[in-house]
């Protein structure tokens, strides 16, 4: 799948883990194609979420057109790329702060047949995006680890700088505190992929919430 289109990418972190596939299918039936999977190891970030087995189970239970966007909040991600690729990830995004071997890991991701993503925490300068080739640049708009946090506005300028650095063709994803209002601001700054967890799955009507964000960011 080309990454050039705009997408709202629901984060399953805020979904009901006992009914993951059902929750995701409901949003896919509304037109969503990209599903954001947050992997946390209890080291890089304090919480532990899930690993390749859950990604594989989702892959099995979802239609082929589902694009699994796997955000690895784990230390030394190079040791786990092969497992997540085998589990059916379409894209794997690693943290710049999580390994000294960023370029190696991004190459490993592409060699495994996946789209490569690099992500920076709010306190990390974006210069690293000028040093490596990526299919997707992810700008954290909260500190990684938890859903439901408030959007950090200083990251809007970072989005603008990364868009200027990478040109129009690379997907720029934002993650954290995204709702229709903050999503629209990120779109204006140059973002094209919009992760939304609590704003979708904690809403009384997740499908309506998905549409509302998609319209606000120009994804539908």
Regarding 41 and contact with ligand DX5 (CB under 6 A), the answer is no
Q: What is the x/- site pattern for ligand DX5, positions 159-178, by CB under 6 A?
A: ----------------xxxx
Regarding 69 and contact with Zn ion (CB under 5 A), the answer is no
Regarding 10 and contact with ligand DX5 (CB under 6 A), the answer is no
What, of Zn ion, ligand DX5, none, does residue 148 touch, CB below 5 to 8 Å by kind? ligand DX5
Q: How many CA atoms lie within 13 A of 140 on its CB side?
A: 24
Answer yes or no: are the C-beta atoms of 120 and 96 closer than 8 Å. Answer: yes
Q: What is the x/- site pattern for ligand DX5, positions 72-111, by CB under 6 A?
A: ----------------------------------------
Q: What are the φ and ψ backbone dihedral angles of 75, each rounded to 5 degrees?
A: -75, 150
- Out of 90, 175, 185, 212, which residue is the one contacting Zn ion (CB under 5 A)? 175
Answer yes or no: are the C-beta atoms of 201 and 23 closer than 8 Å. Answer: yes
Regarding 36 and contact with ligand DX5 (CB under 6 A), the answer is yes
Closest residue by Cα to residue 60 from 86, 41, 81? 86
16 is catalytic: no
Answer yes or no: are the C-beta atoms of 22 and 213 closer than 8 Å. Answer: no
The position carrying tokens 């899930």 is: 50
Only segment of 88-96, 164-172, 196-204, 206-214 that touches ligand DX5 (CB under 6 A):
196-204
Q: What does 57-99 look like in DSSP terms, one character per residue?
A: HHHHHS-TT-EEEEEEE-SSGGGTHHHHHHHT-SEEEEEGGG-
- Out of 27, 38, 115, 199, which residue is the one contacting Zn ion (CB under 5 A)? 38
Alpha carbon distance 58, 35 (integer Å): 10
Which of residues 175 and 212 has its CB atom nearest to Zn ion in the complex?
Answer: 175
Q: Which residues contribute to the site for Zn ion (CB under 5 A)?
A: 38, 71, 175
Q: Which residues contribute to the site for ligand DX5 (CB under 6 A)?
A: 11, 13-14, 36, 38, 71, 142, 144-149, 175-178, 195-199
Residues annotated as catalytic are 38, 175
């Amino acid at each position: 799948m080309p990454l050039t289109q705009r997408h709202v990418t629901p984060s399953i972190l805020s979904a009901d883990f006992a009914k993951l596939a059902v929750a995701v299918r409901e949003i896919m039936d509304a037109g969503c194609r990209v599903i954001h999977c947050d992997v946390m190891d209890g080291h890089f970030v304090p919480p532990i979420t899930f690993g390749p087995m859950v990604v594989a189970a989702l892959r099995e239970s979802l239609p082929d057109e589902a694009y699994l966007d796997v955000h690895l909040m784990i230390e030394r991600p190079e040791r786990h790329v092969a497992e997540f690729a085998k589990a059916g990830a379409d894209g794997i995004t690693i943290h710049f702060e999580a390994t000294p071997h960023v370029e190696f890991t991004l190459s490993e991701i592409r060699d495994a047949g996946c789209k490569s993503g690099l992500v920076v925490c709010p306190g990390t300068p974006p210069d690293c995006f000028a040093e490596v080739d990526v299919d997707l640049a992810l700008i954290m708009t909260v500190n990684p680890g938890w859903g439901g946090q408030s959007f950090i506005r200083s990251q809007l300028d970072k989005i603008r700088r990364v868009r200027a650095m990478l040109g129009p063709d690379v997907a720029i994803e934002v993650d954290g505190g995204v709702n229709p209002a903050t999503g629209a601001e990120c779109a204006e700054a140059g973002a094209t992929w919009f992760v939304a967890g609590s704003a979708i799955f904690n809403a009384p009507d997740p499908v309506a919430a998905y549409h509302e964000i998609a319209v606000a960011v120009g994804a539908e």
